[in-house]
Structure 1
Amino acid sequence: MASTVDNLSVVVHGAGVIRLENQSIPEPGRNEVLIKIHSVGICGSDVHFWQHGRIGDFVVQKPMVLGHESSGAVIKVGCDVTHLRAGDRVAIEPAVPQENDDFCKIGRYNLSPTIFCCATPPGNGSLCRYYVHNANFCYKLPEGVSYEEGALIEPLSVGIHACRRAGVTFGSNILICGAGPIGLVCLLVAKSMGAAKVMITDLSPERLLMAKEMGADITLQAKRETPQEMADAVCGHLSGMPDITMECTGAEVCIQTAIYATRSGGTVVLVGLGSPMVNIPILNASTREVDIKGIFRYCNTWPMAISMLVSGRLNVLRSLVTHRFSLEDSLQAFETAHQGLGIKIIIRCDKDDPL
């Protein structure tokens, strides 16, 4: 039976309609835990669902709670849960496969067609006071790792998965297109994995300054050049062509630049999501054996992310947070995100731990 105690939630009703609503508190199932949510980051996808009511084939057809970058404290466990107990602080991995299919068996559960994702239609997200989630996808936060850092593990995981797919290793020279939150976490992870030199580009000088503060070796403000001209500028500043390019904008011109800039035999990883159809210089990539790889979210990344945070090598991660709002002020937080202000916005959901 669900409780009617205060469970303030941020709910999208379709394109342009977002509201604060009080919902019931759900009961955890046998393999689930009830979590008192503490911190939730606003992702670009949350803003997109609010503004457009859809992302690709995922359409908001009924009211849906937003939010999937989250952490909190377990307050109740299902009868079959043995590795968590009330009081444990946890980070939440939002995507949960519903069946143990072939993709799960080979460790690539993010590709399972039966995956369930919070804050992706029709699944409710975690931007609320209380949220129920599969216990196997909740990870204990060690002492010294804050709730905010726990929420940031979700975007950090995108960076980890991208760097793994790219084959980042000691000595890699890397270009990152885009200094938004995802480009910046790719930068942090690449440096932690031993990249020798990381260059990052963006239109915004403010974001490039943040990238420099977070360890970028070279920053370059993108101009309105052709893709080939931009690629030439990249290679000039980098004193050569990068081994790996991580494209984090989704913009067609940046994808083209990434291919032209990457050395023969190198790798381009498409991290950003943009138009479903783009024109790319495929002959250039093919004749130079430039591998083009996609990524879809992440898999098997939360344990590594937590280890990296515990090691202290990612203390700078918290610098991504430029704005903080209470749950009651969530609509203002979304307006701030929509205006493109700051880097990462965190909403504090726990009214017992105010800002």
Structure 2
Amino acid sequence: MSLEGKTSQTAVVCHGGVDLRTETREIPQPKDGEVQIQVAVTGLCGSDLHYYLHGANGIFKIREPLVLGHEAGGIISAVGPNVNADLGLKVGDKVAMEVGVSCKSCKNCRKGRYNLCKNMRFASSAKTFPHLDGTLREVMTWPAELVYKIPEGLDLALAALAEPLSVVLHAWRRANLQPGARVLIIGTGAVGLLACALARASGSTTVVAVDIEQGKLDFAQEQQWATGTFCLPKGPRVSGLEALEAAEKSWAALKASDAVQSVLGLEDGFDAVFECTGVESCMQMAPMAAAIGTKVLYVGMGTKVLSLPCGPSLLSEVDLIGVFRYANTYPDALALLASGKLGNVQAMASHYYTLENAEQAFNDLRRGKDDNGKTVIKPMVGNLALVGK
């Protein structure tokens, strides 16, 4: 769709808790080293939902109106001056955008671990101020070096999944697992589901998925990404000793379930546990479910002060590994999405909404179901004409 003669655009802006506004903003022009992109679609994730509901994500509070969204694909509509020709970017290219802008000069950036850059500015995150607007808008400009052409034939909605898949790839690399590993995935949001898919594609013989939403667990089994599932009972969020008691009960119930009992020796624990919720009781259950000498990957964002049952874990030499975003993953994530090795990941894009209906998308994500009772896996919001929806 041409932008010729168009000077304004629609953007979805969060002003605070349950204060989401559709606003008209000026269309930006690309500066040195930037490209202009018509955003086709943005996938909503848990952090977007936290900002929508609370005006904050953990300790990161919105201090000025913020355009949400960071999982996106789009089409280049203009190329600014001094864009490196080696990138091969041109008008009309379908692209995915890596949305963290690092400083490039700090110790971590120089070591290639730019996800740990203290000066990182991440689109739609309130961690830094002034905030950096996200992708829930019609048009954005972005550093060309963080824009990747998507493989031929890859759907733009799938390109938006490159961001959560990058988180999973980063976690998987830190786990350094071998084929045949037996894996537990706690939480089956988009990241957890993609972790299940990647585990199976990487040769894990046992992948058990745990969640409080049966619909998401059913989806994981329908896609053959999980060899077993277990639905935890819903309850209030608790902390400290209450969370520890809940974790012990949850692990005892999981250990006694068919998902574990059907695999010889699995009651002694998994080769790796990927905790993808950030819920304290789940984070506490994770090391309980890890076998001696194995690993726990903390992928979900948790609370600032967290009690973990480290005593038994330390004695069992269980490695507790933090995972924060990703680095050097985007080309591999896009290639993996295009390869077909993950199965029918297209099915994760379960619902589509226009920018004007973004608040409905947030509310459906919050409930986990749409008005017809269908499970919401990944809401996609944007210019639906660009993705043929």
TM-score when normalising by structure 2: 0.86
Matched-pair identity in %: 35
Is residue 335 of structure 1 aligned with residue 363 of structure 2?
yes
1:95, 1:285 → 2: CA distance? Answer: 33
Q: Name which of 191, 212, 215 aligns with 2:221.
A: 212
Q: Conserved in 2, the CA contact under 8 Å of 1:244 and 1:268?
A: yes
Larger mean CA deviation between 328-337 and 280-289 belongs to 328-337
Give the C-alpha shift of residue 354 in structure 1. 5.7
Could you tell me how far apart the structure 1 residues matched to 2:166 and 2:202 are?
Answer: 14
Shift in Å, 1:30: 0.8
Offset at 1:231?
5.3
- C-alpha separation in 2, matches of 1:264 and 1:332: 45
Q: C-alpha separation between the residues in 2 aligned to 1:197 and 1:315? A: 17
Q: Which amino acid aligns with 1:107?
A: G
SS at match of 2:256: helix
Structure 2 CA distance for partners of 1:136 and 1:159, relative to 1, 3 Å: same
Secondary structure of the residue aligned to 1:307 is helix
Q: How far apart are residue 8 of structure 1 and its match? A: 0.3
Aligned residues: 353
Structure-2 separation of matches of 1:352 and 1:208: 31
Q: Please, which of 63, 66, 69 is the counterpart of residue 67 of structure 1? A: 69
Q: Which residue of 2 aligns with 1:202?
A: 211
Alpha-carbon distance between aligned partners in 2 of 1:23 and 1:351, rounded to the nearest angstrom: 20
Once the two structures are TM-superposed, the CA of residue 157 in structure 1 deviates from its matched residue by 1.1
Structure 2: segments with no counterpart, 5+ residues = 234-245, 370-375
Corresponding residue of 2:379: 345
Other-structure match for 2:243: none
233-242 or 243-252: which moved more?
A: 233-242
Q: Find the aligned partners of 1:199 and 1:14 in 2 and give their Cα distance.
A: 37
Shift of 1:132: 0.9
3-state SS of 1:298 partner: coil
Q: Deviation per CA, 1:16-47, whole angstroms, max 9, x where unpaired?
A: 21100010011112111110010111111111
The 5 Å alignment of 1:24-43 reads 24-43=26-45
Tell me how far 1:196 sits from its aligned partner.
Answer: 2.0
Match of 1:160 in 2: 169
Q: 1:145 aligns with which of 154, 174, 178?
A: 154
Measured after TM superposition, the shift of residue 350 of structure 1 is: 5.2
Letter in 1 for 2:79: V
Which of 274, 298, 305 aligns to 1:277? It is 305
CA distance in 1, matches of 2:58, 2:285: 24
What stretches of structure 1 move > 3 A for 4+ residues in a row? 350-354
Matched to 2:301, the amino acid is L
Matched, 1:291 2:319: yes
Aligned to 2:47: 45
Asked whether the equivalents of residues 6 and 23 of structure 1 are also in contact (C-alpha less than 8 Å), the reply is yes
> 1:263 maps to which residue?
291
- Give the TM-score taking structure 1 as reference length: 0.94
Map Cα deviations across residues 183-239 of structure 1 (whole Å, 9 max, x no partner). 101111112222222111122221111111222111122247614414533643443
Which ranges of structure 1 fall in alignment gaps of 5 or more residues?
A: none
Q: 2:232 matched to which residue of 1? A: 222
For residue 8 of structure 1, give the secondary structure of its aligned residue in structure 2: strand
What is the letter of the counterpart of residue 220 of structure 2? A
Local SS of the residue matching 1:120? coil
**Aligned-pair distance for 1:314?**
2.5
Aligned pairs for 1:57-206 within 5 A = 57-81=59-83, 82=85, 83=87, 84-121=89-126, 122-206=131-215
**Residue 348 of structure 1 contacts residue 354 of structure 1 at CA under 8 Å; is this kept in 2?**
no
Q: Deviations over 1:70-114 (max 9, x none)?
A: 010111112111221111110011111023222122211000011
Amino acid aligned to 1:101: C
CA distance in 2, matches of 1:270, 1:200: 15
Q: Whole-Å Cα distance in 2 between the matches of residues 282 and 331 of structure 1?
A: 41
Pairing 1:312–2:340 present: yes
Query: For the residues of structure 2 that align with 1:350 and 1:5, how far apart are their CA atoms?
Result: 20
Q: What CA distance in whole angstroms lies between the structure 2 residues aligned with 1:265 and 1:52?
A: 39
Q: In 1, distance between residues paired with 2:368 and 2:10? A: 25
What displacement does 1:147 show? 0.4
Counterpart of 1:23 in structure 2 is 25
Q: CA deviation at 1:329?
A: 1.5
RMSD of the TM alignment (CA)?
1.8
Q: Deviations over 1:252-279 (max 9, x none)?
A: 2222221111111100001112322222
